[in-house]
Amino acid sequence: MSIQLFKQYTQAMADSDWNTIASMYAEDCVSVDPDGAVFEGREANLANDQKWASMMSDFKFNYANTVESGKVTVVEMEITGTMTGEMPMPDGTSIPPTGKTHTFKACMIMEWDQGQIKKQRIYADFVSFMAGFGIMPG
């Protein structure tokens, strides 16, 4: 069941369907991004997803491996996007869009409670991410 919920989430992300995404987050959801940033609550998680979507257009998700155990889903995947927006940095500056399209590897672990995301952790190859989008030398 949770694999289907995961696919519903990624399709909503690809479609920028913010109402569906918001409804999928539990009020007290906690997420951790690849850079270690922690987002607590539905609104913070939705804002983080919208930040990613403002930076990268045309999201595509290709699922490589999926594992489901109880209320936990683990998905290894490739994410493709085009960097059409600014990338906000922790110090308040931003990196301008490069217009480059890149595919990078990621792994998401989601814990579900009554059909909603309770906990979410995302791991990604950020060296490939930065080089592929032309932010750093390859």
Where are the chain's structural domains? Answer: 2-132
CATH 3.10.450.50 given to domain 2-132: yes
The whole model's pTM is what?
0.90
At 3-50, the pLDDT tens digits run: 899 999 999 999 999 999 999 999 999 999 988 999 999 999 999 999
Give residue-wise pLDDT tens across range 89-113. 878 899 999 999 999 999 999 999 9
**Residue with the two structure tokens 């919920």:** 5
Rounded distance between C-alpha atoms, residue 70 and residue 67, angstroms: 10
